[in-house]
Amino acid sequence: MKFKHKILENKTLRMVFIKLKLTLFLLRLLFSNNNKTRSLIFDTMHLKQFFDQDNWQEILKNHPNNKAVNSTRNSEETAVLIPGRLRCWDKSKDLIYSIAEKNKVFIVTDESDSKIINDINHKNIYITNVDNSIYKNQLSKISNLSLNQYFKLKCAIEEIYKYEKNNSFYFKNFIKIRSDFYYYNSENLLDMTKENNEDYLFAQSDLHFSGRREFFLPLRNFYDFSEWSYNNDFHNLEFMPINPTQIIKSDPGATKFAFLKFPEDIVETLDRRPSSVYIHEKINKNYKKALKYIYNPDDKFKLTGSPEFVATEQSFAWFLNLLGIPCKTHLKYAGFIMHNPGKFLKSGLKEGATKYQKDMENIRNKKI
């Protein structure tokens, strides 16, 4: 480890080291079977995590723009949702405009993006600024800034319902994307072949997801569930009922189900952050036991992951699990979050983390 740190202290050696590391990673992908490849990309070796310890932003900050979609694979039956801040807009605007040539795009953001949205003038792009909308009063009641993204998702789906009612038109497919993600296969984002032929929500946690109406639209209610999770101290719930069937039908890495709370007797570990592959294997192995499990306060439990932060991705995984919506990964979602120096300052994530810690302390004191 000391040798590695010395290498990373030298800028030239660090660049060589990281490029070598990336080359080895890509070679692993090249010679891995399909399931192993998906595990490497979507679970333990997602590129963002892969580069975190080596200052990946320095290497990827000059990444290219997202490529335009393949128009031959577009379907006007697909609604595109972008709920959240329009970070890295310059890197993704060409992609968004190419999508809007045939598809309706529903953007829900806030006043922070006023300069961007004021410059957007496209017949197929519908923009809602929550700070200046019918949702303003609800916005003021959100428990934490970290939950804004899910409130905006709810608003985006509400806006789609309005569009459908006003135009006597119903979308068949839906896809939620973000502007600050570099998609290696962005030209295939609107290829809905899998969504139309397989009964799954296709996802990479809460970053992006797509599916037919019956798999996607229930997410309108996720914001309310995330608020409940926050106000009931998700990480310290005494018991968390789990649907084992949804897990074994889902791909490891599609959601953060591995970070939920499980009886040790079923998953055979107390590690807060095991891999999704590991939990998937243990649920398969002990499936009958998981189906029959009845809560016993004397049992030992594998706790949830990241207890110092708002359980956004984890509550998303639990919501889908309780609904019984199986989730699969999709290689069109391979990529990484783009470098954005102002992300924390503009989004208030640090403020959100501080508020979360204070709120949870108050909730736990009330329980005593």
Kindly give the interhelix angle for 312-323 and 222-231, rounded to the nearest 10 degrees: 120
Given a cut of 90, whether residue 18 has pLDDT beyond it is no
Share of the chain above pLDDT 90, in %: 69
Q: Which of the two residues, 64 and 62, has the higher pLDDT score? A: 64
Helix (H, G, I), strand (E, B) or coil at 80: strand
Cite the DSSP H helix spans in the chain.
2-9, 11-30, 34-42, 47-52, 56-60, 89-100, 114-119, 136-139, 148-167, 193-197, 213-216, 222-231, 244-249, 264-267, 276-285, 287-292, 312-323, 343-347, 349-367
Tell me the average pLDDT across 139-158. 96
Are the CB atoms for 108 and 130 separated by under 8 Å? yes
Average pLDDT score, the chain: 87
Residue 197 in contact with residue 212, Cβ under 8 Å?
A: no
Domains of the chain, by residue range, sit at: 2-62, 71-216+331-336, 224-328
Cα–Cα dist 350/124, whole Å: 35
Q: Calculate the CA 332 to chain-centre distance.
A: 14
Q: How far apart are CA 178 and CA 158, in angstroms?
A: 18
First to last CA, the chain: 44
pLDDT beyond 70 at 164: yes
Question: What's the confidence (pLDDT) of residue 63?
Answer: 66
Q: What is the pLDDT of residues 183-206, one digit of tens each?
A: 988 999 999 999 999 999 999 999
Q: What is the pLDDT of residue 45?
A: 42
Provide mean pLDDT across the span 159-165. Answer: 98
**pLDDT on residue 346:** 46
Residue 4 has pLDDT above 60, yes or no: no
Please compute the mean of the pLDDT values over residues 346-357 and round it to a whole number. Answer: 73
- 321-341 pLDDT, tens digit per residue, is 999 999 999 989 988 888 776
User: What is the rounded distance in angstroms from the CA atom of residue 279 to the CA atom of residue 242?
Assistant: 12
- The strand pair at 301-302 and 181-183 is best described as unpaired
Are residues 81 and 177 in contact, defined by beta-carbon separation less than 8 angstroms?
yes
Q: For residue 246, which of 311, 195, 312, 320 has the smallest C-alpha distance?
A: 320
pTM, 2 dp: 0.86
Which one has a higher pLDDT value, 180 or 40?
180
Of 351 and 319, the one with more pLDDT? 319
Beta bridge partners of 146: none
Q: Which uninterrupted H or E stretch holds 328?
A: strand 327-328
Question: Which one is predicted more confidently, 90 or 24?
Answer: 90
Say how far apart CA 90 and CA 87 lie, in whole Å. Answer: 8
**For 260-297, how does the pLDDT look when each residue is reduced to its tens digit (9 = 90+)?**
999 999 999 999 999 999 999 999 999 999 999 999 99
Which tens digits make up the pLDDT trace of 68-77?
998 777 777 9
pLDDT value at residue 348 = 56
Q: Which residues contact 249 (CB under 8 A, 6 or more apart)?
A: 326
Worst-scoring range by mean pLDDT, 46-55, 142-151, 168-177? 46-55
What separation in angstroms does the CA of 25 have from each of 51, 140, 208, 246, 255?
A: 11, 44, 23, 30, 22
User: Does the structure show a pLDDT above 70 at 61?
Assistant: no
Q: Evaluate if residue 9 carries a pLDDT over 70.
A: no
Between strands 201-204 and 327-328, the pairing is parallel
Contacts of 292 by beta carbon, 8 Å cutoff, 6+ apart: none
Residue 279 has a pLDDT of 96
43 with 276: CB under 8 angstroms?
Answer: yes
Residue 181: partners with Cβ closer than 8 Å, 6 or more residues away: 207, 208, 335, 336, 337, 338
| Residue-level pLDDT at 218 | 97
Predicted local confidence at residue 301, as pLDDT: 97
